[in-house]
Amino acid sequence: MIDPLLLTDFYKTIHHKCYVEGLTKLVSYWTPRMSRKENMNKVVMFGLQSFIKKYLIEYFNENFFNVSKKEIIKEYKRVICNTMGDIAADTFHIEKLHDLGYLPIQIKAVQEGTRVNIKTPMIEITNTHDDFAWLVNYLETFMSCNIWQPMASATIAYRYREIMERYFDLTVENGDVTKSCGDFSMRGFSSIESAQVSSAGHLLSFTGTATISSILYLEKYYNCNIENEVVGIGTPSTEHSVMCSYGTDELKAYKRLINEVFPSGILSIVSDTYDYWNIITNILPILKQDILNRDGKIIIRGDSGDPIKIICGDSGAPQNSPAYKGTVELLWEIFGGQINSKGYKVLNSHIGAIYGDSITVERCEEICNKLMQKGFAVSNCTFGIGSYTYQYNTRDTFGFALKATHAIINGEEKFIFKDPKTDIGKFKKSQKGMCYVYKNGDDIVYKDELTIKEAEEYKDNLLEIVFKDGKLIKDYSLKEIRNKLYGKF
């Protein structure tokens, strides 16, 4: 395993030598500085607790404090001397940290599940020992690369949930909005860990996921248990290799899958392997009674084409053709259903639709709107949200950064800040001094330019101690976080 003090950028390794003389305390704040996403002006706080447990506690103990100092220093010097030169390979500060035996760091944060306004600090980090002010921002890279992804994905998932809730309120009578969107993104991520934390962010707003390990991640780090609560659920589904194994005899494939392999329960069948519209208009009518006689639901999954047109119909296609009508209308014509109390058509409970290819926030909203315009409840189709949504993001999607704002130098408090004149939009301007974060109506805002004493006088500061001197202070559960985000999940 790698020494955690090598899990950073090269330039961090010399900063202990570069700070002003007399620096005994540094305070930095993690802030979403801007949004590159429409209608997403608040960021969901999520992922810090798992980072603390997994890395600041477990990883540091196993791979630094519980390893001999001689071994730590030997490896550190081997790496730094051979990459940046001997002058950069000072280790006195690392030896002192090892001798101390714990991380002399305090982290305050808003409660996980809180939606924090852009430009408002979410996390405060400082040192608790005068000799380790250098360590505060040394941890920036390590922390940043682990927490921006779950926050970004949780924020985007919240936006999907907002859309689905609005259309559920308009068109659905008794549906469960938490099942309306599933996470299909794992195969599009760059690592197992990235997929886990992203899907965990998704699971704050929904219960459906294809990423099994995200559920285990939440059980390990967020105090939940699938044996007594819904953390996440999967759906039995086929893929193209399954359908192709039958050749082009799709009737045989469907008949066996529906009657023999899964004679009951939910089964999602990918249906565009050869001729999607033929499946719906010719094969499903033959199997109509088999489907209606099942104790369960067959879900038809399209996987190619324009999702809006596939689900809702294409007005540019020949009138009354299958493409013109779209999946949901065709299923209604074959299987029927009922009109709910809100006046919208709901497919027979034995049949449904799902689409999981290239779904975006914008397409999700347009599909919901078109279904409603056609007189259908939006619960007739669920969405699989993939890496097109969750992987096409960076740390800059919400401008996350950890910046130093306060210091004690030779016994005096100093407000420090960043304010580049070349930064036209003031995107990179940081806070000054200590910060007080508070609720103002529906917003989470802040006041800065405070001394340590002034900040401590605000007893309603939403920044609470979650980690101090190697120990976890706050330990939230998934249920608490979901309820914080939604009132009641």
Q: What is the pLDDT of residues 245-280, one digit of tens each?
A: 999 999 999 999 999 999 999 999 999 999 999 999
**Which pLDDT band holds residue 421 (cuts at 50, 70, 90)?**
confident
Q: Say what the pLDDT of residue 165 is.
A: 98
For the chain, percent of residues with pLDDT exceeding 90? 95
Is 489's pLDDT higher than 80? Answer: no
Q: Say what the pLDDT of residue 180 is.
A: 98
Average pLDDT for 384-390: 92
Tell me: do 291 and 172 sit in the same domain. yes
Q: Say what the pLDDT of residue 488 is.
A: 81
Residues 284, 257: contact at Cβ < 8 Å?
Answer: no
For the chain, percent of residues with pLDDT exceeding 70? 100
Tell me: do 356 and 456 sit in the same domain. no
Q: Say what the pLDDT of residue 358 is.
A: 87
Spatial distance between the Cα atoms of 398 and 151, rounded to a whole number of angstroms: 9
Task: Give the distance, in angstroms, between the CA of residue 69 and the centroid of all CA atoms in the same chain.
Answer: 37
Residue range 326-363, pLDDT digits in tens: 999 999 999 999 999 999 999 999 999 999 888 999 99
Residues 146, 196: contact at Cβ < 8 Å?
Answer: no
Tell me: do 239 and 359 sit in the same domain. yes
User: How many other C-beta atoms lie within 10 A of the C-beta of residue 391?
Assistant: 19
Average pLDDT for 307-332: 97
Tell me: do 128 and 179 sit in the same domain. no
Q: Considering the chain, what is the average pLDDT of its residues?
A: 96
Q: What is the pTM of this model?
A: 0.96
Pairing of strands 443-450, 23-32: unpaired
Q: Say what the pLDDT of residue 422 is.
A: 87
Q: Helix 192-202 crosses helix 140-171 at what angle (to 10 degrees)?
A: 40
Phi and psi at residue 468, to the nearest 5°: -155, 130
The residue from 391, 417, 450 where one domain ends is 391
Q: Say what the pLDDT of residue 188 is.
A: 93
Q: Say what the pLDDT of residue 429 is.
A: 77
Q: How many domains does the chain have?
A: 2
Tell me: do 27 and 129 sit in the same domain. yes
Tell me: do 206 and 127 sit in the same domain. no
DSSP states of 337-402: EEE-TTS-EEE-TTEEEEE-SS--HHHHHHHHHHHHHTTB-GGGEEEEE-HHHHTS--GGGTTEEE
**Which pLDDT band holds residue 425 (cuts at 50, 70, 90)?**
confident
Spatial distance between the Cα atoms of 221 and 47, rounded to a whole number of angstroms: 9
Residues 351, 297: contact at Cβ < 8 Å?
Answer: yes
- Residue 458 lies in domain: 4-151+399-486
Tell me: do 233 and 279 sit in the same domain. yes
Residue in this structure with the two tokens 């940290």, named with its chain if needed: 97
The DSSP code for 304 is S
Residue range 98-112, pLDDT digits in tens: 999 999 999 999 999
Q: Say what the pLDDT of residue 406 is.
A: 98
Tell me: do 213 and 88 sit in the same domain. no
Tell me: do 279 and 427 sit in the same domain. no
Spatial distance between the Cα atoms of 220 and 54, rounded to a whole number of angstroms: 10
Q: Say what the pLDDT of residue 417 is.
A: 86
What is the CATH classification number for the domain harbouring 301?
3.20.20.70
Q: Say what the pLDDT of residue 420 is.
A: 81
Is 159's pLDDT higher than 90? Answer: yes
Q: Say what the pLDDT of residue 424 is.
A: 74
- The Cα-based distances of 233 to 77, 137, 178 in angstroms read 47, 39, 11
Q: Say what the pLDDT of residue 479 is.
A: 98
**Which pLDDT band holds residue 298 (cuts at 50, 70, 90)?**
very high
Tell me: do 258 and 295 sit in the same domain. yes
Residue range 112-142, pLDDT digits in tens: 999 999 999 999 999 999 999 999 999 999 9
What is the CATH classification number for the domain harbouring 474?
3.20.140.10
Tell me: do 458 and 414 sit in the same domain. yes
Average pLDDT for 285-296: 98
Q: Say what the pLDDT of residue 471 is.
A: 98
* Type of residue found at 450: L
355 closest CA partner among 309, 423, 420: 309
Is 312's pLDDT higher than 90? Answer: yes
Spatial distance between the Cα atoms of 425 and 211, rounded to a whole number of angstroms: 38
**Which pLDDT band holds residue 418 (cuts at 50, 70, 90)?**
confident
**Which pLDDT band holds residue 375 (cuts at 50, 70, 90)?**
very high
Q: Helix 212-221 crosses helix 192-202 at what angle (to 10 degrees)?
A: 80
| Tokens read off for 95 | 């030896």
The residue from 360, 391, 422 where one domain ends is 391
Q: Say what the pLDDT of residue 10 is.
A: 97
Tell me: do 130 and 199 sit in the same domain. no
Average pLDDT for 171-184: 96
119 closest CA partner among 215, 234, 218, 31: 31
Q: Which residues contact 220 (CB under 8 A, 6 or more apart)?
A: 50, 53
Q: Say what the pLDDT of residue 423 is.
A: 73
The residue from 391, 411, 438 where one domain ends is 391
Average pLDDT for 194-211: 98
